[in-house]
Chains A and B, each alone.
Chain A
Amino acid sequence: MTDLADLTIAQASAGLREQEFSAVDLLDAVERRAAITEAHLHAYLTLDREGAREAAEAADIALVDGDLRPLLGIPIALKDNMVTKGVETTASSQILAGWKPPYDGTAVRRLREAGAVIVGKTNLDEFAMGSSTENSAYGPTRNPWNTETVPGGSSGGSAAVVAVGSALGAFGSDTGGSIRQPASLTGIVGAKPTYGLVSRYGLIAFASSLDQIGPLARTVPDAAMLLEAVAGWDRMDATSYHGDVPAISRSLNVGVRGVRIGVVTELVGEGIDPQVLAATRATIDRLSEAGADVVEISLPAIEYALSAYYLIAPAECSANLARFEGVRYGLRVDGATTEEMMARTRAEGFGPEVTRRILLGTYALSAGYYDAFYGQAQRVRTLLRNDFATAYGQVDVLVSPTSPTTAFEIGAKTGDPLTMYLTDICTIATNLAGDPAISVPVGLDDGGLPIGFQIMAPALGEEVMFRVAAEVERLVDFTARPRLATSKVVAP
């Protein structure tokens, strides 16, 4: 018999409705899985056993009443930068150790209202700054495909739990690739929606104009279902999109015949690992065979995206993280004066990467440098948007690898920040443009590590994006699971 922890959300939801098993059974299964895998992975920071059990029991009662909400009773995990009322929320930072928020973020509230069972909070790079989940104050998360390697980041914890089945789905946040890149490195699906489609209220801000909450799941339909549960206008977020949510799930089975697909020239050449490139090319060929019209498209400004990103994101974060200073919540390191207390608290509470970015952003915004750095980066952003606009005049979606490489070894890139930043080259441009993008697993490299394929779409183009992603999923039929996801593995 299949372990319930290995079900997709769609399968689990059907099983719950048919009363083949209960929501409590399902929760038990993922908690059992977590009990085995956590010792290897360290993907969860907090398991909310009590809250999860209550939610599962409530779901079971509703299920008996014939409640048909799709996420009812589904165990999911949340990245620990999503604010959860009464459940410790740290953003993997020492500065928020022990903080129990007095409120739920909007996405969290919507998930609770949808009847989802929140299993726990997952590890991330501190304040979502990083691409490997090594920058967590609470220790790194490991990749379930090979625990010597990173799961990617910053939503590495959410990616790992979905990959091994210690949750059936998860949410992360994506500022420069933080959902898609870990999804790619752990062989699952991860989507960054259009900026504004999911409320950021209750997402601990890293870079406000780039951050976006999105789903991580084993399948494209699961990801679509998760996204639909949280998408839509929110009065608490002034930047949330005030219009109809794209009908994501409706077209998943339509196929790609006649869909115009652009291959981004700059992202299928130099700097991309040959095996990743080969898997990308193979996927494109299959899409073409399935009836898509494939062309190559150049986005010249994309070469400057990384530079612009590493000015804009730190600048915004330098202000967003100013609120952490030991006055109202979180860590305080004593000092003779408030000024000294603040500076010591921040020195002690922030890890090196966060400190580095705050300093970088502070510098980029300071008088005399504003135009050269921040101002210019915002103009580059316009150029990039123009490039995308031109491209989407010719094609419906753009495609590329999600990550230039598969998972790298823990510690391999921690010495040099720039090398780490370069792992985001394929994903960053869509954040700057505000567009949606999704990563779908398309194969394994020689070392047995997953390769992700990225599909990008214009703003609010989620329908066609998910449609292409679903077709890729069908064409590739990626069924491999990490060794850790099988119940033969026991706790060490």
Chain B
Amino acid sequence: MTEWEAVIGLETHVELQTNSKMFCGCPVDFGDEPNTAVCPVCLALPGALPVPNREAIEGILSIGDALNCTLTEDSLFYRKNYFYPDLPKNYQISQYTFPLCVDGYLDVDVDGEPTTVGITRVHMEEDTGKSTHVGESGRIHGAEHTLLDFNRAGVPLVEVVTEPDIRSPEQARAYGLELQRIVRTLGVSDARLEEGSMRFDANISVRPVGTEELGTRTEVKNVNSLRSMQRAIAFEITRQIEVLESGGSIHLETRHWDEANGATRSGRTKEESEDYRYFQDPDLLPLHIDDAWRNRVRERRPELPADKRSRYRGLGADERVADLLADAADLGELFESAVAEGADARTAGIWLTGEVVAYLRREETEVGETGLTASSLAGLTEMTAGGDLSATAAKEVLAGVLAGEGDPREVAEARDLLQISDVDAIEAEVAAVLDEHPEALAKLREGDSKPIGFLVGQVMRATGGKADPRMVQDLIRRKTQE
């Protein structure tokens, strides 16, 4: 039986959150009212001309830089010609040869297995308007007419194209997640799939393991979450293998992911290949990205997620915890500040990603809205390490601190959770308990260690749980040997 291998390449569109559109001064952040953020340029009125937004160029360069691309010195805008009612000019300003960024890569990790995904190109283009299909079905099929809103038309759009280096749905998801983290870290986009500010198209083919030749691919569109991308790719791989194993063949086509049915359905076949008649846009000058500009982009590069993760690990956070902290900007910042104030990184990380996250979720709040500060977090880990608090008590104190009851010591005192560190006081309790249970003491002396747990429990009860159980156990053993 043939063993199959999937070959996947991803095309990702990211809307840049600049103030104004790619080629005109209309706002990118528009409300719900249709056709209110439009002008002669983005509506393609006769005579209007595009002028590129410098900030958008900066944005794409920062993405290319973060994806280890070569930033092209001389780059060009092209016209990509096709008729569609949501495309006002009926050509899209895009890039073709000489895109702004080429030949990069992104390292992703699935369950400890690292993979490098090649980035073919990152190029600049403009978004289309939005169509609403009106009719009983609400879908394009069966619609009676269509309403067009051009508010989104001309929003800066970056397309990131990978090499066909991805081999599994999990890798695809990991790539998507890491790319999302990167653009968010760069601050160029909120990269929300459900709102369409980040969109994935997947090119998928399968081939027998060990062969080089690529199989016929299909392109899967319409995934609006990373999870549905993973599901869609998994479905498509299985579908293709089934078709091939039953003697059929794969057609070059676009397939749409149907979330409700958990399946891809056939779109348009690509037999009649598209002819976009690309040519250099004569309305736009060539882009020249000189060394100074490239250096500036590199200097402005913020700490990327992968670097942050490894730094957090270096500080002492567990691997998984470091990943989570690097993803959550506010928790990560709190973590860093707490460690700087002397917190035990491992414990602080575990609490932040455990109790604190649970609290925030439960209370539907942000960490900045709680009573937890870097110094209180550091104080709490110190109190625990110093034996002032038991692990259980520490969590209770943390809850109190989060709820704004005060700093850890105040909470611990108010809730009477501080451990008794006075050895004499505990010794007295131990002696009292042993006096009450001579039979247990006798068994211990005969070498039967069973009663020790019972005895420790009695002492803890007597001290209201504030004794350190390990210390209690030591004291009992010492008494036994007397």
Contact = CB atoms under 8 A, between A and B. Distances in A.
Contacts of A200: 47, 49
Given A203-B47, A323-B44, A238 B285 contact: yes
Contact of B91 (A91, A207, A322, A367): A322
B51 A319 contact: no
B409 interface: no
Interface string B11-36: 00000000000000000000000000
B146 A328 contact: no
Name the residue among B40, B90, B91, B279 with the largest chain A CB count within 10 angstroms.
Answer: B279
Interface string A184-213: 000000000000000011111101110000
Contacts of B52: 238
Contact of B45 (A102, A370, A374): A102
A92 B279 CA distance: 27
A325 B43 contact: no
Interface in B34-81: 40, 43-52, 79, 81
B85 to A, nearest CB: 5
Interface in A284-334: 315-316, 318-319, 322-325, 327-329
A89 interface: yes
B51 A327 contact: no
B282 interface: yes
The DSSP consensus for interface residues of chain B is loop
B83 A201 contact: no
A284 to B, nearest CB: 35
A202 B40 CA distance: 9
B51 A235 contact: yes
A323 B89 contact: yes
Contacts of A239: 49, 282-285
B81 A322 contact: yes
A102 B48 CA distance: 11
B446 interface: no
Contact of B90 (A101, A235, A323): A323
Interface in A70-118: 81-83, 89, 91, 96, 99, 101-103, 105
A79 to B, nearest CB: 12
A209 B278 CA distance: 16
Given A238-B50, A322-B83, A325-B83, A362 B284 contact: no
A490 interface: no
A365 B45 contact: no
A315 B279 contact: yes
A319 B47 contact: no
Contact of B279 (A81, A201, A339, A374): A374
Given A204-B46, A209-B282, A370-B279, A238 B85 contact: no
A91 B90 contact: no
A83 B89 CA distance: 17
Name the residue among B40, B91, B282 with the largest chain A CB count within 10 angstroms.
Answer: B282
Contacts of B278: 365
Contacts of A105: 47
A215 B85 CA distance: 37
A239 B49 CA distance: 10
B85 A208 contact: no
A263 B282 CA distance: 31
Interface string A170-195: 00000000000000000000000000
A323 B88 contact: yes
Interface string B249-289: 00000000000000000000000010101110111110000
B177 interface: no
B46 A91 contact: yes
Given A202-B47, A238-B283, A238-B285, A327 B277 contact: no
A166 to B, nearest CB: 24
Contacts of A217: none
A200 to B, nearest CB: 6
A327 B148 contact: yes
Given A208-B282, A238-B51, 19 more contacts: A105-B47, A200-B47, A204-B47, A205-B46, A205-B47, A236-B49, A238-B49, A238-B52, A316-B279, A319-B79, A319-B90, A323-B90, A328-B43, A328-B45, A329-B46, A338-B85, A365-B278, A365-B279, A370-B277
Interface of B: 40, 43-52, 79, 81, 83, 85, 88-91, 146, 148, 150, 273, 275, 277-279, 281-285
Interface of A: 81-83, 89, 91, 96, 99, 101-103, 105, 200-205, 207-209, 235-239, 315-316, 318-319, 322-325, 327-329, 338-339, 342, 362, 365-367, 370, 374
The 7 closest A-B pairs by CB, nearest first: A322-B90, A209-B282, A365-B277, A208-B282, A83-B47, A202-B47, A204-B46
